[in-house]
Structure 1
């Protein structure tokens, strides 16, 4: 495993960092000012998208892009450090057409969509002309266990009829959102095994019977692009809008989630790096009780510990990305689950330290820290709660033991060795 960045990736990192400094960061205040005023800055974003496409910093996330689509065709391992740079400013990914949930939806359509579906939705997504969203979680079920999902997808003649309620649908409030990918139960009689009862279907956002009930604030932060609650009441779409095979929803979701979690985690690490930078600057400039803050041992330890933890987490994520590239989703299952736990907890821990160093200012909108903390805390639930991912890791560990059941138990063997050698080392008078 060699995680050194190639010359190509190093060049892209420099280009991307320069673009962020020259064109994204100077507009950060304007973006927040516009969104707080209720105006989504589409003109600003469209200008940045056009510039990023001209600079060939576009569609960086998909290794097997079609030849006709613009993009760099990077592997997961190559894309990961670029996601970290973009993550420093949470809205920046959209400027490079690399934001969630579009990146995952593009992968779904690319891998499983029909030619007609690709022509209608994938091509404009690749070009950045439209946005999309992904509807899986439901308010009335424990969605961490997706076999509970109740939204129904029922065939009636040449159409499918969708009924149900979804929430925390990221991106659904974006003015350019044209498509929602819905996961629902297509086997109402429970005739199939639990993980073959659900399907994915493509629903245009302007479909009759589809209503956006509200944009849900996440820990009091309301995202302009939306984490929305959607209601589907007898929404009818043509049968050819079914994505992939009937009953293949879970398999497609797993194909989508692996790379997406690497993207999320590397963006989160970028935000941790930002929090650490702010912590360092504050500790150097602020004096209390006759000393600069960094001269106090506990604050110095916080800075050092944060650096060590970021480096550890980054290596874990790069390892998961490498496993995805070399072995696919199945080989990376445990690693991907692990990074989701480690990085979400890391973000709240490091940002919490930074807030403490800033004092009251850290609680205010004068720094990005309060937002970064809330987002890190949300990540411990969004995209699967910590407990589910820990369960996945534990199961993989137990499989290792089950696969070696024919071999003598190492613990028992070690105990025998220790008993024998331990008695031999005792003085003769004690060997009783």
Structure 2
């Protein structure tokens, strides 16, 4: 693997960094002031989106982008440093039409939707005209195992009828949220294959019976787009609203989650870089007990440890992106699990050190640190809890060990 970014990647990173500096950062205060009133800052975002579109900084996340599609095609490896730059301002991904959950939704619509479904939903999503949500997690069951999910998708003549309760549906309060991609049980038979019992259906948000019950703040942090609890009561959609074939839900969910997981990790690297920069700036500006914070050995250890951890995580993330580009997301499943666990822990570790150097101010909205810490802690649940990913990694190691069992012993026998 060549560790040098290509000339094309370096050019796009430079263009994106300039856009962030010239346009996104100056709008940051306005975004948060409006969001704090409970209103989504469309007046801030829409002009930025138009400019990003015209500047060719659009839909950068999708390797399957075709020539006729709006945006710029990039591999996962090329996109990684772009997402890192966006991650420094968490709301900025939407400016470039690269925000979750739209990215994952666009990817599975691109691969599995019918031409009619693409025209109705994918085209406006790729133009940034609408936004979407995904209905996976449920409050009444252990949702890290998708086969547990209980929302029902029942056939009724020419329609499906959906009943269930979802939560943590990111984007449910966004004023442009027009589509929910809902995961549920379409084959309720006890003897059915648990990995073929579920399907995805495309549900317009204005369908009767769809109710956004509430926003569910994460760690007391309110996101203006919402992480919502949504009830589906006798929601009727036509049969052609199913995505893929009946029973494809589990397969589609796995196809969707792989790239989405690594996108979160890419953005985390940028957020940790920002936290380390803030830590260092504070350390060289703040004096306690007659000397600068930066002169304390423990602060220097924190700085060094953070740099080691960030660079190690970045290398693992780039290796994972590289493998996905070469062999596909399925073959990189274990690598995705490794970077997912690593990135979430990295964020809480690095940001926690920065908060400590800032003192009590680190817990206030005067810096982005407390927000970044809560998001890092939430990442240990997002897209699967750490324990599930650790299990994936351990199983692969044990599988490998079974194929080589006994080979090492022969090399380490002590002669008598």
TM-score normalised to the size of structure 2?
0.99
1:305 paired residue number:
305
Q: Which deviates further from its counterpart, 187-196 or 210-219?
A: 187-196
Q: How far apart in 1 are the matches of 2:194 and 2:139?
A: 20
Q: SS of 1:91's equivalent?
A: helix
The correspondence of residues 381-420 of structure 1 with structure 2, limited to 5 A, is 381-404=381-404, 409-416=406-413, 419-420=414-415
2:30 and 2:44 in contact (8 A); partners too = no
TM-superposed CA distance for 1:330, in Å, is: 2.2
**How much does 1:69 deviate?**
1.6
What SS is found at the alignment partner of 1:52? Answer: helix
Could you give the per-residue CA deviations for residues 216-245 of structure 1, whole angstroms, max 9, x where no partner exists? 010000111010001011100000000001
- After TM superposition, give the deviation of residue 361 of structure 1 in Å: 0.5
Task: Give the C-alpha shift of residue 289 in structure 1.
Answer: 0.5
SS of 1:251's partner is: helix
The 5 A counterparts of 1:189-338 are: 189-338=189-338
Structure 1 gaps of 5+ residues are 424-432
Which secondary structure does the structure 2 equivalent of 1:69 belong to? coil
Task: Compute the displacement of 1:267 (Å).
Answer: 0.3
2:28 alignment counterpart: 28
Distance, in Å, in 1 between the alignment partners of 2:32 and 2:133 is: 22
328-337 or 119-128, larger mean C-alpha shift: 328-337
Aligned equivalents of 1:323 and 1:196: distance in 2?
Answer: 28
More divergent stretch after superposition (39-48 vs 292-301): 39-48
Check if 1:78 corresponds to 2:78.
yes
Question: Counterpart in 2 of 1:90?
Answer: 90
Counterpart contact for 1:190–1:197, Cα < 8 Å: no
- Structure 2: distance between partners of 1:240 and 1:404: 49
DSSP 3-state at the match of 1:77? helix
User: Equivalent residue for 1:378?
Assistant: 378
Structure 2: distance between partners of 1:96 and 1:102: 11
Counterparts of 1:40 and 1:403, CA distance in 2? 55
Q: For structure 1, which segment, 12-21 or 190-199, has the greater mean C-alpha deviation from structure 2 after superposition?
A: 190-199
Aligned to 2:55: 55
Aligned twin of 1:114 = 114
SS of residue paired to 1:58: coil
RMSD after superposition: 0.9
- Structure 1 residue 191: Cα displacement: 3.5
Report the 3-state secondary structure (helix = DSSP H, G, I; strand = E; otherwise coil) of the residue aligned with 2:328. Answer: helix
CA distance in 2, matches of 1:190, 1:18: 56
Aligned residues: 416
CA distance in 2, matches of 1:192, 1:259: 29
Gaps of 5+ in 2: none
Q: Which runs of 4+ in 1 moved over 4 A?
A: none
Deviations 1:237-296 (A, max 9, x none): 000000001111111111111111111001011100000000000000000011100100
- Structure 1 residue 402 displacement after superposition: 2.7
Q: Please report how far the alpha carbon of residue 382 of structure 1 lies from its aligned counterpart in structure 2 after TM superposition.
A: 1.4
TM-score normalized with structure 1 length: 0.95
Q: CA deviation at 1:36?
A: 0.4
| 8 Å CA contact 1:87, 1:267 repeated in 2 | yes
Separation in 1, partners of 2:190, 2:58: 43
Q: Tell me the residue number matched to 2:103.
A: 103
CA deviation string 1:127-157 (max 9, x = no partner) = 0000000110000000011110000111111
Which residue of 2 is the match for residue 183 of structure 1? 183
CA contact (8 A) 1:278 1:354 kept: yes
